[in-house]
Structure 1
């Protein structure tokens, strides 16, 4: 079995639309990704069910909330404002030691000094299953 990876919403959307492939391994999504994805569907309950069949959903627990609060304080102290959803996804990845697979490297770069690992595919900016025009 391959590696474990946390999949961000933008990458998940590309995967569902068959514009991207997921690396071999165990796939996770955060509850934020579950929310962001299902809110844009015609049938959120069905979309949630299908995602839960294919991905392990990580729900926020005390460790993740405390990690997120600590990250927020550090970034705020440095004068860096971030979207709470991105912060929570980053906190999940850091707390669970999962590399994040995202197309939005720019938003997540600021979390790298705090322990976030970006999946190599994210850093390469492409994948074997290239985006279709």
Structure 2
């Protein structure tokens, strides 16, 4: 699947994590936020994403995995929208594949 032929979306939580790094380093958050919002459409949490996140978090907890809630929300966003998740972070996201996450690790 070629990402270049698709519209790229960024979950609100991923934008938050990205901007947090800039804020922590004392860099201009507003400038970076505008750049990201120009390049990507930001997807905010809604009821469907909330319910999917709860379902995923409970399922993974029962399987013995504790995944950061930010990662749960990001995976829930992709699954709810039926879109693949492009990430280099392979610590937790592969666990979501059996719950419907389509994972991309390169463009």
TM class, shorter-length: 0.7 to 0.9
Partner of 2:10: 29
Larger relative helix fraction = 2
Q: Point out 4+ residue stretches in structure 1 off by more than 2 angstroms.
A: none
1:113 and 2:98 correspond: yes
After TM superposition, the score normalised by the length of structure 1 is 0.71
The gaps in structure 1 that reach 5 residues or longer are 4-22, 128-133
After TM superposition, the score normalised by the length of structure 2 is 0.88
- 3-state SS in 2 of match to 1:26: coil
Post-superposition shift, 1:47? 1.0
For 2:31 and 2:89, how far apart are their aligned partners in 1? 26
The gaps in structure 2 that reach 5 residues or longer are none
* Greater RCO (CA < 8 Å, at least 6 residues apart): 1
Deviation string, structure 1 residues 46-102 (Cα, Å, up to 9, x no partner): 211111111010000000001000111111111111111111100001000110111
